Amino acid sequence: MNAKERGRQIIRELRGEAFLAAKDQRLNEFNAPIHDYADEVCFGRIWAREGIDRKQRSILNIAMLTALNRPTQLRSHLEGALNNGCSMEEIREILLQAAVYCGLPAALDAFAIAEDVLRARKLLA
């Protein structure tokens, strides 16, 4: 399996076949190389590594994307984290720790996104 296929298989396991199909539908001549980069470098090269498991990689992303102020990607990786077995309690702890290290505004923005994601999955009333 080459990096592209390996990366796409990881995305499929992380987000499901429908997510991958929707992503493929957005492909065009302009964005194709960044899709390749995401598939091959991000997922096929880094997520494919051993040493830490996938749930840990999801947890790292919640922390880093909160710090980096990137809400669209944070939402996407919160979905991935829940699929990778991350619990609501764990997400809460990650974001509380972000309050101390990244500041309260970063944590409040991330909590608002996480609440949306949890509610859409009926994990939160």
Round to whole Å and give the CA distance between 98 and 92.
Answer: 10
Residues 66 and 98 sit within 8 Å (Cβ to Cβ): yes
Q: Which is nearer to a copy of itself, 19 or 37 (CB)?
A: 37
Q: Is 37 in the site for a copy of itself (CB under 8 A)?
A: yes
How many amino acids of this chain bind a copy of itself (CB under 8 A)? 58
Query: Which of 20, 67, 83, 84 touches a copy of itself (CB under 8 A)?
Result: 67
Let me know how long the chain is.
Answer: 125
Under the criterion CB under 8 A, does residue 33 sit at the interface with a copy of itself?
A: yes
CA distance 41 to 62: 19
d(CA 41, CA 53): 17
Told to check if 22 binds a copy of itself by CB under 8 A, we report no
Nearest one of 14, 15, 60, 11 to 37, comparing CA atoms: 11
Of the listed pieces 4-12, 13-21, 70-78, which binds a copy of itself according to CB under 8 A? Answer: 70-78
State the minimum distance, in angstroms, from the CB of residue 41 to a copy of itself. 5
Interaction of residue 8 with a copy of itself, rule CB under 8 A:
no
Extended strands (E) in 28-121: none
Identify which of residues 1 and 41 has a Cβ nearer to a copy of itself in the complex.
Answer: 41
